[in-house]
Every structure is written in C-alpha cells, then in structure tokens.
Structure 1
Amino acid sequence: MAPSRRRGSNDAAQDVDASILQLGPEFTEDLNSDERLIALNLSEARLLMIEAMRQRKNEAAMQNADVNGDSFYEKMELDDPELLSSNPIVSKTQEYLSTFARFRDEETVNAVEHLLKSPENSTLHPFELAQLGSLSFGDAEEARYMIPSLNGKKSDDDLQTLVDNLRRFEK
C-alpha cells in the first residue's frame, strides 16, 4: 500500500501509511505522556453519538418544559429517528454508523472492548484494535491482509482465536 500525502497544521506534507502504523501526529503515542491514545471502533463511536444526542435532547426538553425528572429520550431505542440530529453532517454520520457498526447494543460493545483490551492484546496499537472491532474477517489471513501492521504481532492461531471470538459477538 503506497503512502499518501497529508497536510498537517503547519502545512508541511506528511507521509501517512497505515500498513506500518505511520498515521500522522494525531496517532503518535508519546510514552512519556500521561495521555493515552484512543481510537474508537464504529460501534463505540455509534454509542457515543447516540448518548451525546440523548443528552442534548434531554437538556433541550428540560429547558422547554417540566418533565417531572423523567428523561423522555433515555427511554428511546438506540436507533429511534427522534434521536437524529437536524444537522445534516451529524445525521449522515449517525446513518453511516448505524449501517456499518458491527455490534449493536451497549453490553456487546463493552464485551468486545474488554476482549480487545485484554492483556494478550497489549502489543497491539489502538488503531489496530479499532480496526479489529470495526471490520469483520473470515479468518486470520484476511485480518492480516486488511490490517498489514498485525504481521509479526500475533501468531496465526492467536489471531484466529481473536477473530473467532469477535465474530461470536456480531449482530
């Protein structure tokens, strides 16, 4: 996979190549920093957007009417159209995440996160973990093809076990 060029905040072109985890300054882990690098899979991003929309809708409802402490939007289903944003960009993002998120409910997303962040996966970069949580693979070979940076990090058997475990949580 050929590296692409990217403009940074200082307008200097930077080489970006996901196959070797050269992802740009936003994804560089500084081992001396207290901040952890976080990369979300599509299912996690979907849940965060839904929760943010719930909070916004509840705040608006509280300002406009007395709801007796009950939160109308907390009781709504995750994909209820009432939670969609009126902002077209946010709506398209929500639609994309609802379509392509592998894992639907919060319990499953938490179980997948626990699996991906287990000690046996501690050698994997947060970007690799996010890709493993977002993409669906038939086997370890396909996972290595789609995420080339996995080469040399996990044995075929260990990667196959991880792929199989992730598939058990799918929709």
Structure 2
Amino acid sequence: MNVSTSTFQTSRRRLKKVEEEENAGTLQLGQEFQLRQVNHQGEEEELIALNLSEARLVIKEALIERRRAFKKSLNQQKKKKNKRKTSSSGSHGLSDGTGELGDESEGDDEDDVDDDEGDFMNTETREKELESLDALLEQTTGGANKDLKNTMEYLTNFSRFRDQETVSAVIQLLKSVGLHPFEVAQLGSLACDTADEAKTLIPSLNNKISDEELERILKELSNLETLY
C-alpha cells in the first residue's frame, strides 16, 4: 500500500505535538529548565526564572545605575576641569572660591540624580512610566537601542505588579508552595482567574498542586495586583 508524503508528514506533526505536550507537562523542555545551572564562571547555581514584573524592575534598576555612573563620571570630569582652571588662574582666593562652588555644583547634580530616580521608580501610571522610560533610555543608550526600548515597553504594559515591595510579596507567596522556578515565574506573569485556566496554560501544575490551593494562590495574587 502506498502512503502519500502528506499523510506521513501529518502523522509526524501529530506525534511531535503529542511529544511537546507531554514534555510541557513534565517540564522536559531542555537543559535550561534544569534546577541546577552552570554559570559563566563554571560554577553551579540554582535556576533563576523571572516573571515579567521582576524582569522590568531588574532592567529599570540597571538602567538607573548606568545613568548614575554616567553622571558621576561627568561630575568628575567637570571637577577636574575646574581644578585646572583654578590652577591656571594663579589666585589663591579664586582657587578657594572655585573649589567651594565646584563641591556645591556636584552636590546639586547628585540631588538631581536622586530626583530623577524617584520620578522613574515611583511612577503611578503606565503612561507616566513610559514617558520617563524614553528619557532614561535617551540618557543611557542615546535612544539607539530599539530592542531594549521595545522590551521595556512590553514589560511595562504587561507587568502585573508595579513596585519592589509587591513583587517581593508575590515571590514569597509563590515560593512557599514548592513549585519549579519556571512555574513560579509563569504564575507571576499570567493573570489566571481559575485553577483550570492556570493548569491549562501551565500543564506541569496538574499533578503538583490541588485546585483548592491553586485557587487560593490566584486570589492572593489578584489582591496584590489590584492594590497598585
């Protein structure tokens, strides 16, 4: 009996789909999902999986730290420039005055940095945060990193939890159940209303946690989300 190529390919696709579903149900999705990972230094460490809200905060803090380093470097350059001007003037009186003004200017710059960080980290709406994000990316990347901009816009729009305190509460809640880091990250990112929905989207939960326990967790996550 002849078997057509299309029939054979359809059968292979079905088998592959079944295999993928089975793998998803047991988290057999590759070495990157193993609980023990090897870092770039060749050392073993626990698997880290971030939900969208965690990833957003990590990148925000890294960008703010980068801006702080840029401004600190700029302040140091200004200070050196002022010292050179003072030395060339040959006047001790002007030297003292310039030194004092330089210190005051540096302090003002540090205050400006703190104000900028507060504005960005404590934005109340997504619209304001996206506006602050544009300014931050312009200062730290020259506005040229479109991939980073798109990533941050996505994270800002789809993060469920806005601030570090809430994100920490979410992590503590989810880790208390003893789930895989990937499952913890998924539950923190997906706004599931019911246990059935959560187990459909995250098949590996089916044999790990009861519907009652999962419903309780989903309700607590929803309460944390609506607070902000």
Pairwise same-fold verdict (TM > 0.5): yes
* 8 Å CA contact retained: 1:116, 1:129: yes
Structure 2 CA distance for aligned equivalents of residues 114 and 30 of structure 1: 20
> CA offset at residue 116 of structure 1?
0.9
Q: Larger relative CO (CA 8 A, sep 6+): 1 or 2?
A: 2
Structure 1 CA distance for aligned equivalents of residues 168 and 196 of structure 2: 26
The number of residue pairs the alignment matches comes to 156
* 8 Å CA contact retained: 1:50, 1:83: no
| CA deviation string 1:58-105 (max 9, x = no partner) | 111111126424334422223223223521111111001001111111
Q: Which runs of 4+ in 1 moved over 6 A?
A: none
2:66 is the counterpart of 1:56: yes
Structure 1 pair 49–143 and aligned structure 2 pair: CA distance change class (3 A)? same
2:159 is the counterpart of 1:97: no
Q: What residue is the counterpart of 1:40 in the other structure?
A: 50
Structure 2 CA distance for aligned equivalents of residues 24 and 18 of structure 1: 10
TM-score (norm 1): 0.82
Equivalent position amino acid for 1:49 in 2: I
Equivalent position amino acid for 2:196 in 1: E
2:201 is the counterpart of 1:146: yes
Q: What residue is the counterpart of 2:31 in the other structure?
A: 25
* 8 Å CA contact retained: 1:39, 1:127: yes
* 8 Å CA contact retained: 1:43, 1:103: yes
Rg larger for? 2
Structure 1 CA distance for aligned equivalents of residues 192 and 147 of structure 2: 29
Counterparts of 1:70-81 in structure 2, within 5 Å, are: 70=111, 71-72=113-114, 73-78=116-121, 79=129, 80-81=132-133
* 8 Å CA contact retained: 1:54, 1:83: yes
Higher helix share: 2
Structure 1 CA distance for aligned equivalents of residues 184 and 155 of structure 2: 17
Equivalent pairs: percent with the same residue? 45
Structure 2 CA distance for aligned equivalents of residues 106 and 29 of structure 1: 25
Structure 2 CA distance for aligned equivalents of residues 89 and 140 of structure 1: 35
Structure 1 CA distance for aligned equivalents of residues 117 and 208 of structure 2: 41
Gaps of 5+ in 2: 1-15, 38-42, 77-105, 122-128
Structure 1 CA distance for aligned equivalents of residues 148 and 23 of structure 2: 28
1:39 is paired with a residue whose SS is coil
TM-score (norm 2): 0.63
Structure 2 CA distance for aligned equivalents of residues 47 and 38 of structure 1: 15
